[in-house]
């Protein structure tokens, strides 16, 4: 390191899951692109949205927010989607209690398919979205919600409105906090495996292994 203060950069993969129409895409667009539109087109060809946070003077956090995108709405996400995620939001729509009924199924599915390196569940925050509209079901009772979140192993819950920009930043901050906390427990040795790599070639590192086909 040439700089005197050590700058840290983190890249975190975060899943945004929940029933169709719960507001997953709206949440991501509000958080990442700071806009809301009532009628989005289905986003074609995008895996995730990237949000860069200047967490503190020495820490940059890059969040990849992976939308399940209506296409996998039957709950059959590929392993590619879950792989190496370190946090998740489960979103439901406060105006349709049916979307809440599916929450525990999404949580079970999440916990079965992705774990922290130590084997524990990844931190997950429950979002009660569209809170600017009339609520239905359990979400009208805050104590019951607190209890539900505790019993089902969520790190917390927020009433959010992507439309009115309510609690969007706050919920994300809460999740990142939890992720950073987990991250401190993982030593450098855990995350370094020089022999594992992707096929991309964006880094300038050259392998200098000589080819055998030159004469000697």
Partner 1 sequence: MDEDLPTEFDLVVVGTGFVESIVAAAASRIGKTVLHIDPNDFYGGTWASFNLDALQSFISSIAESPATDESKQFNSIKNASQIWHVTTPTATPADDAIPEGQEATEKIWTKENVLKEFRRFNVDLSPKLLFSCGKLVKLLISSNICRYAEFRAVDHVCTIINGQTRSVPCSRTDVFNTKDLSIVEKRLLMKLLTSCMGYDEHPEEFKDYEDKTFLEYLKSVKLTDNIIHCVLYSISMSNEQTSLKDGIDNTKKFLNSLGRYGNTPFLFPMYGCGEIPQCFCRLCAVFGGIYCLKRSVSNVSIADAKVDSIKCGNQDIKASNIVVGHGNILPDFSIPAGGTGVGKKCGGISRAIYITSSPLGAEELNSSGGGVNFLKLTDESGTGAFVLQLSHYSGTCPKGLYLIHISCSAKSNNPEADIKPYLDKLLTTDHPPAILYSIYFTIDACLRCTSGASITNDSLSNVFVCCGPSFELDYDESIDNAEGIFKKIYPEDEFLPRAPDPEEIVIGDEDPVSVADDVITLDSVKEQIMELEAGLLHQEDCMEENSRNEEMAMEVGEE
Q: Which residues bind partner 1 (CB under 8 A)?
A: 10-13, 19-20, 29, 33, 35, 37, 41-50, 64, 69, 71-76, 78-81, 83-84, 102, 105, 116-117, 186-207, 209-216
Tell me whether residue 1 or residue 44 sits nearer to partner 1 (CB atom): 44
CB atoms < 10 A from the CB of 164, how many?
Answer: 14
Tell me whether residue 116 or residue 156 sits nearer to partner 1 (CB atom): 116
Q: Is 207 helix (H, G, I), strand (E, B) or coil?
A: coil
Shortest separation between residue 32's beta carbon and partner 1, angstroms: 8
Shortest separation between residue 30's beta carbon and partner 1, angstroms: 12
Distances (CA, A) of 91 to 63, 76, 199: 18, 17, 33
Give the Cα separation of 216 and 212 in Å (integer): 9
Shortest separation between residue 10's beta carbon and partner 1, angstroms: 8
Joined together, the tokens standing for residue 215 give: 């004469």
Tell me whether residue 86 or residue 125 sits nearer to partner 1 (CB atom): 86
Q: Are 114 and 122 in contact (CB under 8 A)?
A: yes
Q: What is the DSSP letter of 152?
A: T
Distances (CA, A) of 111 to 41, 85, 150, 172, 186: 30, 11, 15, 20, 19
Q: What is the DSSP letter of 70?
A: G
Tell me whether residue 72 or residue 146 sits nearer to partner 1 (CB atom): 72
Tell me whether residue 89 or residue 158 sits nearer to partner 1 (CB atom): 89
Give the Cα separation of 196 and 67 in Å (integer): 26
Shortest separation between residue 79's beta carbon and partner 1, angstroms: 5
Shortest separation between residue 18's beta carbon and partner 1, angstroms: 11
């Amino acid at each position: 390191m040439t700089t005197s203060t050590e700058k840290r950069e983190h890249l975190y993969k975060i899943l945004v899951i929940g029933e169709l129409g719960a507001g997953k895409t709206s949440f991501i667009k509000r958080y990442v692109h700071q806009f809301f539109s009532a009628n989005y087109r289905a986003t074609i060809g995008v895996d995730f949205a990237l949000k860069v946070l200047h967490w503190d003077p020495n820490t940059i956090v890059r969040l990849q927010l992976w939308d399940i995108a209506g296409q996998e709405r039957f709950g059959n996400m590929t392993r590619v989607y879950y792989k190496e995620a370190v946090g998740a939001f489960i979103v439901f729509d406060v105006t349709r209690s049916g979307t809440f009924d599916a929450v525990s199924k999404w949580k079970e599915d999440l916990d079965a398919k992705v774990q922290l390196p130590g084997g524990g569940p990844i931190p997950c925050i429950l979002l009660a979205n569209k809170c600017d509209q009339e609520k239905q079901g359990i979400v009208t009772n805050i104590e019951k919600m607190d209890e539900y979140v505790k019993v089902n192993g969520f790190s917390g819950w927020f009433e959010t409105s992507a439309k009115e920009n309510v609690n969007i930043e706050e919920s994300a901050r809460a999740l990142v906090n939890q992720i950073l906390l987990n991250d401190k427990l993982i030593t450098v040795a855990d995350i370094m495996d020089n022999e594992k790599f992707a096929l991309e070639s964006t880094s300038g590192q050259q392998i200098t292994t000589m080819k055998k086909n030159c004469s000697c």
